[in-house]
């Protein structure tokens, strides 16, 4: 298997990101978004990134996705430096970003079609991922006819149909209610266990990070840097009421607390 030959699915070395932004009076200010990020994600790993807002977690994901460029340092995905966005790195957005003019089935078939696969294979992939996310019954619906949870299932299926090396998820369940959210967490774990994809998952919920991740990374803001990295050595399914679970939560909350305090002070 290829996965065992390459030791990292995603690797960043001394990754740095600064960008210039123009304020209203025309002066340019330089924002240091990410500083000296050294991160390795193993093939098949489920890595969660958490951090206070403005810690650059979304920027990091967008750089890996190829939507933004890095300022210095190195990024490799499956051993190669990616040039721009591509189907090897599937992205699941918080706001779904489904194509509203395509039905559920057509949204899922979109990626395989771009890859120029023969019709029969596109159809087969569409069926497989419709089944996987449990949306067969809704295959001919359009995005505006779906609930938020169903939309996010389509977005996940759409990315999986492209058989990406890594799946990047940017607070994918952040806009969903608690019950839908936990249903999707279960489904995602199930899918991940079946497909064994590398997942890089951003969340602002410590609970979600500890529940889902093999490992949790904390980013701290201004500039965004890696603050803490802890493996979650708990067997799945995880008991969110267990002592071990809550001990891990405590460690992570303590790591984030000063950043949140700074944010609160800045706001008041």
Partner 1 sequence: METFSSTATARAADPVRAKPVRNVAIPGWLYSLALPLVLIGAWQLATGGRSYSLIPPPSTVVLTAWDYAFGGIRNDTYSGTFAANAMASVTRVFGGFLVAMLIAIPLGLILGRNKLARRLIDPTLQFLRPIPVTAWLPLTMILFGLGPPATIALIALGTFFPMLLNTVDGVRLVEPRLVEAAEMLGTPKAAIFARVILPAASPSIFTGIRIGLGLAWVLVVVGEMTGVPTGLGANIMDARQLSRTDLVISGMIYIGILGFLSDRVVMLIGRRALWWNPNARN
- Contact residues for partner 1, defined by CB under 8 A: 65-67, 84-87, 89-91, 93, 95, 97-103, 110-111, 114-115, 142-144, 158-159, 162
| 101 versus 267: smaller Cβ distance to partner 1 | 101
| 55 versus 91: smaller Cβ distance to partner 1 | 91
| 95 versus 263: smaller Cβ distance to partner 1 | 95
| 82 versus 221: smaller Cβ distance to partner 1 | 82
| 19 versus 142: smaller Cβ distance to partner 1 | 142
- CA dihedral (156, 235, 252, 215) positive or negative: negative
| 94 versus 185: smaller Cβ distance to partner 1 | 94
| 163 versus 207: smaller Cβ distance to partner 1 | 163
Rounded to a whole number of angstroms, the minimum distance from the CB of residue 117 to partner 1 is 11
Rounded to a whole number of angstroms, the minimum distance from the CB of residue 256 to partner 1 is 27
Cα 128 to Cα 163, 194, 233, distances in angstroms: 12, 13, 32
- The pair of structure tokens assigned to 238 is 């995880």
Closest residue by Cα to residue 2 from 43, 45, 47 = 43
The residue written with tokens 């209203």 in the block is 24
Rounded to a whole number of angstroms, the minimum distance from the CB of residue 114 to partner 1 is 4
Rounded to a whole number of angstroms, the minimum distance from the CB of residue 10 to partner 1 is 15
Rounded to a whole number of angstroms, the minimum distance from the CB of residue 66 to partner 1 is 7
Rounded to a whole number of angstroms, the minimum distance from the CB of residue 164 to partner 1 is 9
Rounded to a whole number of angstroms, the minimum distance from the CB of residue 153 to partner 1 is 15
> Checking DSSP bridges between strand 215-220 and strand 225-231, what pairing results, if any?
antiparallel
């Amino acid at each position: 298997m290829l996965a065992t030959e390459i030791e990292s699915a995603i690797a960043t070395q001394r990754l740095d990101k600064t960008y210039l932004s123009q304020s209203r009076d025309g002066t340019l200010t330089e924002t240091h978004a990410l500083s000296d990020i050294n991160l390795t994600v193993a093939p098949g790993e489920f890595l969660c990134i958490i951090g206070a807002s403005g810690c650059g977690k979304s920027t990091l994901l967008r750089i890996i996705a190829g939507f933004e460029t890095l300022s210095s340092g190195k990024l490799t995905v499956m051993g190669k430096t990616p040039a721009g966005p591509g189907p090897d790195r599937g992205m699941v957005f918080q706001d779904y970003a489904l194509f509203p003019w395509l039905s559920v089935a057509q949204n899922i078939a979109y990626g395989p079609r771009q890859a120029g696969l023969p019709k029969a294979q596109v159809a087969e992939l569409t069926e497989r991922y419709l089944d996987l996310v449990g949306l067969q019954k809704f295959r001919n619906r359009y995005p505006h006819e779906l609930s938020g949870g169903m939309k996010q299932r389509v977005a996940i299926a759409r990315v999986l149909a492209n058989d990406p090396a890594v799946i990047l998820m940017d607070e994918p369940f952040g806009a969903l209610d608690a019950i839908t959210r936990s249903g999707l967490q279960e489904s995602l774990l199930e899918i991940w266990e079946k497909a064994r994809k590398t997942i890089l998952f951003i969340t602002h919920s410590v609970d979600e990070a500890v529940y889902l991740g093999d490992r949790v990374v904390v980013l701290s803001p201004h500039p965004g840097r890696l603050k803490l990295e802890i493996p979650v050595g708990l067997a799945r399914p995880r008991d969110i009421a267990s002592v071990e679970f809550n001990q891990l939560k405590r460690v992570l909350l303590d790591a984030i607390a000063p950043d949140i305090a700074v944010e609160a002070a800045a706001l008041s």
